[in-house]
Amino acid sequence: MIGDPWDPTRRPINIAISTLTIRRDEATGEATFYLHWRDPAKVAHAAGLYQVVPSGIFQPSADATWNEQHDFSLWRNLVRELAEELLGDSEDHGSNTAPIEYDAWPFAARLTAGLDNGSVRAHCVGLGVDPLTYATDLLTVLSIDSTTFDDLFGQVVTGNAEGRVLAPQPFTAETIHDFIHHKPIQAAGAALLHQAWTHHLT
Q: Give the pairing type, strands 136-145 and 163-165.
A: unpaired
CA-based end-to-end distance of the chain: 40
What is the percentage of the chain residues whose pLDDT exceeds 90?
A: 82
pLDDT tens-digit profile of 93-144? 889 999 999 999 999 999 999 999 999 999 999 999 998 888 999 999 999 9
Of 41, 68, 11, 20, nearest to 164 by C-alpha is: 41
Q: What is the mean pLDDT of the chain?
A: 94
Q: Is the Cβ–Cβ distance between 130 and 188 less than 8 Å?
A: yes
Please state the rounded mean pLDDT for residues 158-175. 94
In sequence order, what DSSP letters do the residues of 41-74 get, joined into one string? TT-SSSTT-EEESSEEE---SSSSTHHHHHT--H
16-30, 152-166, 168-182, 183-197: lowest mean pLDDT where?
152-166
pLDDT bracket for residue 32 (50, 70, 90): very high
Q: Which residues pair with residue 141 across a beta bridge?
A: 20, 123
CB atoms within 10 A of CB 45: 13
Report the pLDDT value the prediction gives residue 195, as an integer from 0 to 100.
97
Q: Is the Cβ–Cβ distance between 182 and 176 less than 8 Å?
A: no
Instruction: Tell which CATH architecture fits domain 16-198.
Output: Alpha-Beta Complex (3.90)
pLDDT bracket for residue 90 (50, 70, 90): confident
Please state the rounded mean pLDDT for residues 172-195. 97
Q: Is the Cβ–Cβ distance between 61 and 91 less than 8 Å?
A: yes
In sequence order, what DSSP letters do the residues of 93-147 get, joined into one string? TTTTTS---TTT-HHHHHHHHHHHHTSEEEEEEEEEE-TTT--EEEEEEEEEEHH
